[in-house]
Amino acid sequence: QVQLVESGGGLVQAGGSLRLSCAQSGRTRSIYDMGWFRQAPGKEREFVAAIRSAGSTYYADSVKGRYTISRDNAKITVYLQMNSVKPEDTAVYYCAARTYGGGSVYSDGSYDSWGQGTQVTVSS
């Protein structure tokens, strides 16, 4: 496992943009895949986006074309650029990382490290 620290959440109006960051802190380890999940009140946590160490990206249909995930391997940081946000994007966003290869990027059970979560609120 690794320690992950998220930042960048907040309040944004519908149609606006927000950028989330997630950095590995403390003792560093090699990370294979990194992803973002979110959990809205009363709902289960759901997959948002993921990026493999080689750069392949994956998105939930609900955010495809609006969100962009990227990573800086030198800084061991992953970013989530959120554009054209909607009120239904309101949730706590969690960064996740996997320190071993293989497994589905879409499943939260495949990740062994999680950030503390950052609140994103989109007003209409």
What is the model's pLDDT at position 38? 98
- The sign of the dihedral angle between the CA atoms of 2, 109, 61, 55 is positive
**Of 32, 45, 36, the residue nearest 63 (C-alpha):** 36
Q: What is the pLDDT along the chain (124 residues), one digit of tens a residue?
A: 889 999 999 999 999 999 999 998 877 778 889 999 999 999 999 999 999 988 999 999 999 999 999 998 787 899 999 999 999 999 999 999 998 877 899 999 999 999 999 999 999 9
What is the model's pLDDT at position 73? 79
